[in-house]
Amino acid sequence: MARSLYKTRNMSKPSEPVTEPDYLKAYRIMLTSRIVEEKLANLYRAGMIKGGVFLGRGQEALSVSVGIHLHRGDIFAPLIRDQAGRLAFGDTVLDTLRTYLGSQLGSMRGRDGNIHRGRPREGYYAMISHLGAMIPAVAGGLLAKRLAGEQGFVGATCIGDGGTSTGAFHEGLNAAAVDGLPLVVVVANNQYAYSTPNSRQYACADLVDKAAGYGVAGHKADGTNLLDCLQTLRKAVSAARVGGGPQLVVANLLRLVGHGEHDDFSYLDKKLKQSPVGSDCLLLAEQHIIAQGWKNIGELAEWKRETEDEVNATADRVRREPTPDPEEDDWEALSRAEYREQHTAP
Amino acid sequence: MARSLYKTRNMSKPSEPVTEPDYLKAYRIMLTSRIVEEKLANLYRAGMIKGGVFLGRGQEALSVSVGIHLHRGDIFAPLIRDQAGRLAFGDTVLDTLRTYLGSQLGSMRGRDGNIHRGRPREGYYAMISHLGAMIPAVAGGLLAKRLAGEQGFVGATCIGDGGTSTGAFHEGLNAAAVDGLPLVVVVANNQYAYSTPNSRQYACADLVDKAAGYGVAGHKADGTNLLDCLQTLRKAVSAARVGGGPQLVVANLLRLVGHGEHDDFSYLDKKLKQSPVGSDCLLLAEQHIIAQGWKNIGELAEWKRETEDEVNATADRVRREPTPDPEEDDWEALSRAEYREQHTAP
Amino acid sequence: MITYLEAIRLAQQKALATDPRVFLYGQDIGTFGGAFKATKNLSKEFPGRVIDAPISEDAIVGMAIGAAIEGARPIVEMQFADFSTCALNQIVNHAATLYYRTGVPCPIVVRLPSGGTSGGGPFHSQSMEAVYAHWPGLVVVTPATVEDAYSMLLEAVTIDDPVVFCEHKFLYYHLKADSLPETSLPIGKARIARQGRDATVVTHGAMLHESLAAARELAEDGFELEIVDLRSVKPLDTDTVLASVARTGRLLCVSEEWPWGGVTSEVIARVSSEGFGLLDVAPMRVNAKDTPVPYHPDLWSVHRPTASTIAAAARRLLQI
Amino acid sequence: MITYLEAIRLAQQKALATDPRVFLYGQDIGTFGGAFKATKNLSKEFPGRVIDAPISEDAIVGMAIGAAIEGARPIVEMQFADFSTCALNQIVNHAATLYYRTGVPCPIVVRLPSGGTSGGGPFHSQSMEAVYAHWPGLVVVTPATVEDAYSMLLEAVTIDDPVVFCEHKFLYYHLKADSLPETSLPIGKARIARQGRDATVVTHGAMLHESLAAARELAEDGFELEIVDLRSVKPLDTDTVLASVARTGRLLCVSEEWPWGGVTSEVIARVSSEGFGLLDVAPMRVNAKDTPVPYHPDLWSVHRPTASTIAAAARRLLQI
Ligand SMILES: Cc1ncc(C[n+]2csc(CCOP(=O)(O)OP(=O)(O)O)c2C)c(N)n1
Ligand SMILES: Cc1ncc(C[n+]2csc(CCOP(=O)(O)OP(=O)(O)O)c2C)c(N)n1
Ligand SMILES: [Mg+2]
Ligand SMILES: [Mg+2]
């Protein structure tokens, strides 16, 4: 029988309620994310981005809720559809565009692109493509922080329904559970993995049923509902922060675009689109703000305009930036100069 | 949400009760397994076996219950401690000894050894060392049988508490669940993975809690109790056979020997040994047989003697058999002669 | 006109149609037809035999192995060759050892959409042929033409041993042929893709076409490169390579994968040790740079060998 | 007398004692002290810093990577090198690409108990150095002596890049030294393990000792083999190899791993292309046979190179 130190998974301390400013802040980030992504889609169609564009439309409420509850000293390893969470954690529109447009000034300097960007030194890990791989990495970062005597930190990472089928997901979550690490794993169940529907991805009734099998707390959220996402993530992140061990959050929602901008989403089941899971979280959040009387339509339209202007201006600026120069690149995979070698025709 | 065809996991058809002949048959196989393994331990200590010896002492009740419920046309991929299950499935004392002693006449011809033996053509898969790897292999065998239009077959494989931490376990069980394959995965939770106690291996309350997360039926058995193991496996195997999809069986017991014969088991927690989980299933089965009046002590002693004689005679015979001759070996890793090449010094 | 990709689709179609043991397993290959559409319409044409898999590369190959043991002939699609690192254990330790250990062969085909394309980046561009060739027990093929993509895939399905089928994504759409071949060289035989007298270029996959372009460039200066398309890197047809070097006396090996222990290194090692006397000058190699494959097209096009870097190397080899 | 294995233990002890960032992670390495006892007593001496892991190789390396990003210096033990196939994705795609992609180096050490021993069989005997050397972004070392096992492991911990530490199980118990070195050659430099004038043997790991034995045998006939112990296979010290071949004119490469794309192939390719003029005769290689490593001792001892097969090859090289 498991005798983990971190057995009590349901920490009682209630988390702070979500206030109007919290909600509005999250909404603005969602809005920015949506507008940046629309810009990316346009740039893609205009042939200005080489390589793929993978958008998070429909997933902003969940994603922002992850990033917004993390702060300096925490770790965040976003995944494919986490533009909103990235911005909430401190990534910028500028670096987003630099990376997609291949500016030499971007954090990845043209060596890697799009969703693979990050700044590991700032707790913002740069995902590799292989799904699941970031889970143990975040767990390890947390272990190192614990060994170094730090306190009160958490780490979060996101994954899709499809990513839960990887061995890496399983090994990483299990290892984190054994050591009771403050890891929050957020599953965006957007009903598809590329074209593959849930029915060909897993057979459990609900992905949150996996939590008990790892001995971690399980949380469900309505991924189309910003308030529910904020509340659930607040609860999960604070439970992890105070020693509750890993937390598995599962949110249902629908990806509102194709897998990537090359994908026409022909496999979408129309019934899903019409069901509650197919709602657009950004629209619902707007409606909520207006219904609450926090802002009126005009004010929201103004925010939108402002953000579009900022994004467009940034894109124009980035397009004038230098692209990476192969002559300047040192073409070295190792940090230590002595270990470098090139053995191609001399 | 998952919409698997094979959603109803609890098949109602009650399985046949375990009769006296069933029990005695299983007991005799357990006894043979125990005696063969004692012989192997002796041969190991005498330096007659090169390489490792890994015994299943204490796990015979569970293991035999797996093998005994399978028949021709089924698939069985035993693991490290399944000498009893192997014999129940049709492996012989002769081939066991041939493999351990490195006879050229053994099924592995000296190319592989000990627990890695099998006869894949007969549904008896030959494990590779990498834990978890046999689970998808059995699932794939079952898929192929289904595609070929076969019916009424099952596949079973065993794994330890430690093996449940592998990505292969997760991916294999999940993929089998998605296709509702008639796969029985039997977890022998023997409290340790080599020296690692359960507390460092997983954090769930019970490994059977994993079943819900895969959407498969979960079963618990008392691994020290032959009747319970027979009944549980009968139920699980027949549920799989009639279309109930994958079945996860978890039995608690204690490995009564070191990890391998080289291991002095110094890490054993004495309290576990004294707890019910530490009982010897073979002794308990003997007591049960006597208490039921099925056999008396003398008859059981006679069985034991007979089996020892058979095992000793077989070992003597095998020791006189030729060992593999490197000159005769074709040293080829591929079946097709045209694709073979050796590029070492000519 | 039939593209390289369509040839792969048609080979799978034919295999499904002619051999009831064949089935396909991989991510998004069913109704969707695969990330690259290499299985387009096949699930409709062959119901139940083109099966969508979860994101579980290790299980995908593991299942193929079990199916092969039971007599099936699975063709597995990895979405990208790069993700086969997650299936490596099953490929090299299970499929590749089965025959040696048990005498039972393991007829699976693992399709790896391989190699670099513009904007692919570090995780969608890798060439894994040298890795799989290192382990014993696998046949590793690298078709470079539409015809070979078709005939080698069909042949691969008939082989009792596990075949790693490295199809090159760079060739998918733009490489075209008028028709499909009736006959072809068997797997294990290299092909002289261009005859020449001055130097032998040994290559495979997308680099065949860069090498041919380099040869055209040098031909303008009056130098004739002979180009050997390996077709399969394991087995590696040393005889054909040696025979060509015997004619030309010079060897340039060109490969898209990383240099250390790659195909260029194996070919040079074999020619040097088995055909030392045939070489008039030192053999040379051109490989990708020894870094991850960069994302930005401007970096990528310098990272990999191209017609012009190959031509430059050939000029040095010819001392011109 | 200090064994090779004890040197590894002592190096880890010293690293733990002198650098608070160091911790160890792996299966059974805590109280139990590891399958081979390479961490014996260390969990007692350094409480909380020698951590038992579940059977999750991929997660083990993944966690080490995250820990390294946060400033730790993890040393990971694979129970056997063979099981690192289950961690390959994290090693080659995450650790090895981190610096190139993000500019943040990944200082992890992955210890691989490598190579064959009698009765080890196909899954407890593999040498993986050539596989890891193929991917860019890793330092791959193969200590062949007690002194190197100690000093290279200590040095590996100080390196900011990921190091794959291939320690050879065959040497664990029987290789002994009087004392531990104070100074040593840096990683990346090969060592002339024996001086000779007639031929150069390039080797590493356990094969160093088989090669030295072969050299003693040939010395009885009056031939002197020079033996280069590579020490690290990536970076590979081509200069030292070339300098030796310049002296002897003959090259024999000996490696325990499989031939295709192995260390022998890379060394021969480099010497042939960069030092062609130094070679008087064709270079040669001796490798394990291209099959899985057999279990039976009688097969195993023929599968791997030994002093006598090396001596025989050397005689052919020397045309005696
Ligand atoms: C190990 C692995 N296999 C395959 C892929 C290719 N791939 C990229 S995204 C994707 C689908 C992911 O689905 P999901 O996890 O549900 O995330 P979503 O795209 O729906 O957000 C696949 C198969 C990959 N990145 N990693
Ligand atoms: C993937 C993998 N990692 C490591 C090992 C080495 N190993 C062999 S047996 C074992 C312990 C297995 O424990 P468990 O699964 O509980 O089975 P048990 O030995 O208790 O029957 C380990 C770690 C292995 N065989 N496979
Ligand atoms: Mg999804
Ligand atoms: Mg166990």
Q: Other C-beta atoms within 10 Å of B7: how many? A: 12
Per-residue DSSP letters for A171-188?
HHHHHHHHTT--EEEEEE
pLDDT for residue B7 is more than 60: no
Residues 301-320 of D with CB under 8 A from A: none
**Tokens 């998974």 identify what position?**
A9
- Using most ligand atoms within 8 A of CB, pick from A80, A202, A277 the residue to mutate for ligand 1: A80
Closest CA relative to residue C182, chosen from C6, C14, C3: C14
> Of A7-11, C299-303, D93-97, which gets the smallest average pLDDT?
A7-11
Fold of C191-319: Rossmann fold (3.40.50)
Name the β-bridge partners of C140: C164, C234
Q: What is the pLDDT of residues B291-330, one digit of tens each?
A: 999 999 999 999 999 999 999 999 999 999 999 999 988 9
Q: What is the pLDDT of residues B108-148, one digit of tens each?
A: 999 999 999 999 999 999 999 999 999 999 999 999 999 99
D233 part of contact set with chain B, CB < 8 Å:
no
Q: Please report whether residue A341 resides in a domain.
A: no
Average pLDDT of the residues in D298-313: 97
Q: Which domain holds residue B91?
A: 18-262+269-314
Average pLDDT value for chain B: 94
pLDDT for residue B9 is more than 80: no
C76 part of contact set with chain A, CB < 8 Å:
no
pLDDT for residue A341: 74
DSSP state, B94? Answer: H
Number of A/D CB contacts below 8 angstroms equals 164
Q: CA-CA distance, B241 to B183, in Å (whole number)?
A: 9
Average pLDDT of the residues in D75-104: 98
Residues 81-110 of D with CB under 8 A from A: 89-90, 93-94, 96-105
Q: CA-CA distance, B156 to C248, in Å (whole number)?
A: 59
Give the distance (Å) from ligand 4 centre to CA of residue B265.
13
D140 part of contact set with chain A, CB < 8 Å:
no
D146-158 and D4-18 helices cross at what angle (nearest 10)?
A: 30
The yes-or-no answer to whether C2-177 and C191-319 have a common fold is yes
Name the β-bridge partners of B187: B159, B250
D83 lines ligand 2 (CB under 6 A): yes
B80 lines ligand 2 (CB under 6 A): yes
Q: What is the pLDDT of residues D175-187, one digit of tens each?
A: 999 999 999 999 9
Q: Which of the following is catalytic: C94, C124, C209, C303?
A: C124
Rg for chain B, CA atoms, rounded: 20
Q: Other C-beta atoms within 10 Å of C280: how many? A: 13
> From C84, which residue of chain A is nearest by alpha-carbon distance?
A130
Q: What residue spans of C225-306 are helical by DSSP H?
A: 238-248, 263-274, 297-303
Closest CA relative to residue A167, chosen from A132, A213, A192: A132
D86 lines ligand 2 (CB under 6 A): yes
* Active site annotation includes C296: no
Both structure tokens of B45 = 């200590």
Position in ligand 1 atom list of the atom nearest CA C86: 1
Q: What residue spans of A148-263 are helical by DSSP H?
A: 167-178, 210-214, 226-241
Instruction: Enumerate the domain spans of chain C.
Output: 2-177, 191-319
Q: Please report whether residue B334 resides in a domain.
A: no
- Looking from the CA of D226 toward its CB, the CA atoms found within 13 Å total 23
Angle, CA D63 vertex, CA D57 and CA D65 arms, to 5° = 110
Please, what sign has the CA dihedral across residues B83, B86, B92, B96?
A: negative
Amino acid at C76: V
> From B161, which residue of chain A is nearest by alpha-carbon distance?
A1
Q: CB–CB of A241/A153 below 8 Å?
A: yes
Q: Where are the beta strands (DSSP E) in chain A?
A: 75-77, 155-160, 183-189, 192-193, 196-197, 217-222, 247-252
Q: What is the pLDDT of residues D123-159, one digit of tens each?
A: 999 999 999 999 999 999 999 999 999 999 999 999 9
* CA-to-CA dists, residue D269 to B168, C246, C260, angstroms: 38, 18, 10
Question: At a CB cut-off of 8 Å and minimum separation 6, what does C65 contact?
Answer: B136, B137, B140, C90, C94, C95, C98, C106, C108
CATH number of the domain encompassing residue B300: 3.40.50.970
Closest CA relative to residue B88, chosen from B117, B62, B113: B62
Q: Which residues line ligand 1 (CB under 6 A)?
A: A 80-81, 129-131, 160-163, 166, 188, 190, 192-194, 255, 259; C 27, 55, 57, 79, 83, 86
Q: CB–CB of D86/B130 below 8 Å?
A: yes
Q: What is the pLDDT of residues D24-52, one digit of tens each?
A: 999 999 999 999 999 999 999 999 999 99
Fold of C2-177: Rossmann fold (3.40.50)
Q: Three-class SS of residue B107? A: coil
Chains that touch B (3 or more CB pairs under 8 A): A, C, D
pLDDT for residue C271 is more than 90: yes
pLDDT for residue A297 is more than 90: yes
Amino acid at B264: D
Closest CA relative to residue B169, chosen from B192, B129, B136, B146: B136
D289: which chain B residues are within 8 Å (Cβ-Cβ)?
331, 342, 344
Q: Phi and psi of A214, rounded to 5°?
A: -105, -5
pLDDT for residue C34 is more than 80: yes
B160 lines ligand 2 (CB under 6 A): yes
Inspect the interface and report whether the beta carbons of B335 and C105 lie closer than 8 Å. yes
Average pLDDT of the residues in A100-107: 94
pLDDT for residue C69: 98
Inspect the interface and report whether the beta carbons of C296 and A111 lie closer than 8 Å. yes
Name the pLDDT band for D281 (thresholds 50, 70, 90): very high
- Using most ligand atoms within 8 A of CB, pick from A194, A201, A253, A257 the residue to mutate for ligand 1: A194
**Of residues D120, D259, D316, nearest to B51 (C-beta):** D120
Inspect the interface and report whether the beta carbons of D259 and B344 lie closer than 8 Å. yes
Q: Please report whether residue B236 resides in a domain.
A: yes
Position in ligand 1 atom list of the atom nearest CA A168: 1
> From B333, which residue of chain D is nearest by alpha-carbon distance?
D291
**Tokens 């080890």 identify what position?**
D120
Q: CB–CB of B191/A188 below 8 Å?
A: no
Domain count for chain B, please give it. Answer: 1
Angle, CA D73 vertex, CA D71 and CA D78 arms, to 5° = 135
Average pLDDT of the residues in A97-123: 96
Q: Residue of the nearest CA to atom 20 in ligand 1?
A: A193
Both structure tokens of C315 = 């000029």
Both structure tokens of A52 = 């793929």
* Ligand index nearest the alpha carbon of residue B158: 2
Chains that touch A (3 or more CB pairs under 8 A): B, C, D
B196 part of contact set with chain A, CB < 8 Å:
no
Q: Please report whether residue B319 resides in a domain.
A: no
* Ligand index nearest the alpha carbon of residue A158: 1
Q: What is the pLDDT of residues C111-160, one digit of tens each?
A: 999 999 999 999 999 999 999 999 999 999 999 999 999 999 999 999 99
C250: which chain A residues are within 8 Å (Cβ-Cβ)?
none
**Of residues D51, D66, D136, nearest to A136 (C-beta):** D66
Both structure tokens of C203 = 């290559």
Q: CB–CB of D200/D243 below 8 Å?
A: no
Q: Three-class SS of residue D165? A: strand
Inspect the interface and report whether the beta carbons of A194 and C28 lie closer than 8 Å. yes
Q: CB–CB of D26/D193 below 8 Å?
A: no
Q: Is residue A19 exposed (0-12), middle (13-18) or buried (19+ Cβ within 10 Å)? A: exposed
Percent of chain B scoring above 90 in pLDDT: 90
**Nearest-10 Cα torsion for A172, A176, A177, A180:** -170
Give the distance (Å) from ligand 3 centre to CA of residue A198.
8
> From C251, which residue of chain D is nearest by alpha-carbon distance?
D273
Q: SS3 helix, strand, coil % of chain A, rounded to 5?
A: 45, 10, 45
**Tokens 């062969």 identify what position?**
C105
Percent of chain C scoring above 70 in pLDDT: 100
> From B169, which residue of chain A is nearest by alpha-carbon distance?
A167
